[in-house]
Amino acid sequence: VGNEQAITALIQLLKDTQDAFTRWRVGNSLENIAVGNEQAITALIQLLNDTQDESTRWSVADSLGNIAVGNEQTITALIQLLKNTQDESTRRNVAYSLGNIAVGNEQVITALIQLLKDTQDESTRRSVAYSLGKIAVGNEQTITALIQLLKDTQDESTHWRVVILGKIAVGNEQAITTLIQLLKDESTRWIVADSLEKIAVGNEQAITALIQLLKDTQDEHIRQKVAESLGKIAVGNEQAITALIQLFKDTQDESTRRSVADNLGKILKTENNYLMTVSALNKYLINEVYENNPDLCKNCFKILWHSAKNLTYPQFYQAWHATPTYHPEMADYQPSTDTNTLNQLEQQYTDIYTQLKQLQPTTTTYPIPLNAANLEGKTAEKAIAKGILIKIYGEIYPKQKAKTIEDIFDLENELQDMRKKLNTDKIALIFCHINPHPELIKFCQQLQNDWLKIALITDTPIASPLSGFPPQQDNLLGVVQTWLEELG
């Protein structure tokens, strides 16, 4: 790679040979060893200008697309070739190469748009659109041209045009409106919903259209996709929340119900969002529902637990016992009167920390449960270390004031002393009542060692070497106790 002698020899061979296959082999070799090399680029451009052989043209264009990123000479030569050739294979390769080397170049964008209009070859159009998707993000001319193509053609080729719009037309009202029209076509609904989730975040028109599709379609795959799309573009939108709750109730498909549960969790944002959800779904947490449809009951619990974590207990209690009035479609929902289920949810909502305090030391490990709410928002190392030590002192030495520490090393020294006083091989810190932010997770990863183990009670996925347990885990206390036993 980069060997000047080898590059010079290949360039000379390129000039001397008339054999198309040899030229292709030379170009392929230059791709591997001459990236950015001006001599190689100039030689390939010269060959491009001199030859009339189409197979040579497209192979040279392909090579330039790999070694001449941003090179103006190359861009000019390829644009010229695009105008001169009528060969569709050459056009496709030139378009592909320009997509690699000419990001944001207005001349290239204009030339590709013109080719998009001129050619009748569907493969060429697809290659051109693919390249425009890479180099023309947000470009109004490109968006307009693709929209026009969508209007002119209604066949299987619609799909790739929708995909490209989903890459380049973020927030573009014209593109969003055009895609919404395509939701009427069953063959394009899935791919249109996928593109709308990329370009129509918060767009009321798109949200309303997807909600309508959710009501109209009986296709479970489409329902799942629409739920996923609403989960990305309809955060806080009460109409979307209402529609997803209605689907959650109506569908008999377990995959759809799981998708709705997951995506409801993503769009619930405001206090009223959580209140309306608790009020609407609590009727499904009863023994009769669990016996007949355990999947419905479990997914319902998942949503309600997520809502409970974002409400104060009085708010949660009031919503549980309130009759929902926020939307006529939800008028059939009545609050649950199953006191056992309510008590179970209340206990999990309020008593995780209390449950963890019942953990028993093993022969090797001493557990220290920590109500880590005081660490919320703390991102500096010193603040995290100090906050953890204060909580640990509250558990182990409640009458003593925590020592002043500066960093993670001071905290480790304090825990080492504590380990000796507790006469234990290992200490296990179990954090609860916090959504761990990246800084806290990184801190815990650095803190954990052979004798100090850390677990977090959270819905956030926790990577090794730390351990994580979801707060709604069945028999949470028993599961964590088993984890302690397995630490050895």
- pLDDT, tens only, 312-363: 777 888 888 875 443 444 344 344 444 555 555 555 544 688 889 889 999 9
The packing angle between helices 408-422 and 381-396, to 10°, is 20
Does residue 210 lie within any of the structural domains? no
Does residue 387 lie within any of the structural domains? yes
Q: Which of 11-20, 191-200, 249-258, 313-322 has the lowest mean pLDDT?
A: 313-322
For residue 297, name the pLDDT band (cuts at 50, 70, 90).
Answer: confident
Does residue 11 lie within any of the structural domains? yes
For 193-246, the pLDDT digits (tens) are 999 999 999 999 999 999 999 999 999 999 999 999 999 999 999 999 999 999
Domain boundary among 136, 162, 194: 136
Does residue 390 lie within any of the structural domains? yes
Average pLDDT, the chain: 89
Domain count, the chain: 2
pLDDT for position 103: 93
Q: How far is CA 387 from CA 88, 372, 476, in A?
A: 66, 8, 25
Structure tokens at 379: 């991102």
Buried b (16+ CB within 10 A) or exposed e, 418-435: bbeeeebebbbbbbbbbe
Does residue 386 lie within any of the structural domains? yes
Domain with 38, as residue range(s), is 1-136
Does residue 362 lie within any of the structural domains? yes
Residue 443 has pLDDT above 60, yes or no: yes
The average pLDDT across 372-400 equals 91
Domain boundary among 119, 136, 153: 136
Q: Which of 165-169, 347-351, 391-395 has the lowest mean pLDDT?
A: 347-351
Task: Give the Cα separation of 67 and 77 in Å (integer).
Answer: 14
List of residues 6+ apart from 321 with CB closer than 8 A: 335
The average pLDDT across 366-389 equals 91
Contact 381, 407 (CB under 8 A): yes
Does residue 476 lie within any of the structural domains? yes
Domain boundary among 106, 121, 136: 136
pLDDT for position 373: 84
For residue 164, name the pLDDT band (cuts at 50, 70, 90).
Answer: very high
pLDDT for position 351: 67
pLDDT for position 330: 39
Does residue 162 lie within any of the structural domains? no
Most confident of the following: 91-105, 139-153, 458-472: 91-105
User: 486 vs 329, which has greater pLDDT?
Assistant: 486
**Closest of 457, 450, 459, 460 to residue 480, by C-alpha:** 457
Burial class from Cβ neighbours inside 10 Å (0-12, 13-18, 19+) for residue 404 reads exposed
Task: Give the Cα separation of 338 and 288 in Å (integer).
Answer: 10
pLDDT for position 333: 38
Task: Give the Cα separation of 14 and 27 in Å (integer).
Answer: 8
Please give the share of the chain, as a percent, with pLDDT higher than 70: 93
Sign of CA dihedral 307, 312, 317, 321: negative
Residue 154 CB coordination number (10 Å): 12
CATH number at residue 41: 1.25.10.10
For 121-140, the pLDDT digits (tens) are 989 999 999 999 999 999 99
